[in-house]
């Protein structure tokens, strides 16, 4: 074989390479979108956990339920506020020194990837719970 001759695959090998590429690319794209979706859910989980800690932190200092809820919404400003629910127990009238304050924040994450939305519940619920003693 001389240096001027170019190397090329036979016609049947080119078709086989195209089919293999289509199969590998499909699996790769599914894997990539799954990783991105997992990252979205994990990010929402971290934000919700942080928001519940922020709410409990100011709640044990004697703040009202409205102030606690507002602090939670401020801490979770990256999320859609209409999907956030905040449960505070015990009620403000029963909070005395030494009692445990429980702040639970729930959020529903919309799953965008079609295959994952069939596997997971859509929207996927994430929640953060923090319990602290009232000072």
Structure tokens that stand for 57 in this block: 């932190």
Please report how many Cα atoms fall inside a 13 Å half-sphere around the Cα of residue 12, on the Cβ side. 0
Calpha distance 35→55 (Å, rounded) = 30
Sorting pLDDT into bands at 50, 70 and 90, what band is 93? confident
**What mean pLDDT comes out for the span 24-50?**
94
Point out the least confidently predicted range of 12-21, 46-55, 99-108.
Answer: 12-21
Averaged over 65-90, what is the pLDDT?
95
Residues 6+ apart with CB under 8 A from 80: none
**In sequence order, what are the residues at sequence separation of 6 or more whose Cβ sits closer than 8 angstroms to the Cβ of residue 124?**
41, 108, 109, 110, 111
User: In the chain, pLDDT over 90 holds for what percent of residues?
Assistant: 65
Residue 15 banded pLDDT, cuts 50, 70, 90: confident
Section 79-88 average pLDDT: 96
Given a cut of 70, whether residue 8 has pLDDT beyond it is: no
Among 5-9, 19-23, 92-96, name the one with the lowest average pLDDT: 5-9
In this prediction, residues 24-52 reach a mean pLDDT of: 94
Which residues have a Cβ under 8 Å from the Cβ of 135 and sit 6 or more positions away? 60, 61, 62, 97
């Amino acid at each position: 074989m001389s240096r001027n001759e170019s190397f090329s695959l036979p016609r049947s090998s080119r078709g086989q390479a195209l089919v293999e590429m289509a199969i590998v690319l499909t699996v790769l794209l599914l894997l990539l979108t799954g990783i991105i979706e997992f990252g979205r859910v994990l990010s929402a989980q971290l934000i919700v956990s942080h928001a519940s800690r922020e709410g409990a932190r100011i709640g044990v200092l004697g703040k009202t339920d409205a102030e606690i809820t507002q602090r939670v919404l401020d801490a979770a400003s990256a999320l859609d506020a209409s999907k956030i629910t905040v449960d505070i127990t015990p009620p403000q009238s029963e909070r005395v020194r030494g009692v445990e304050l429980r702040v639970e924040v729930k959020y529903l994450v919309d799953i965008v990837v079609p295959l994952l939305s069939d596997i997971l519940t859509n929207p996927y619920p994430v929640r953060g719970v923090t319990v602290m003693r009232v000072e």
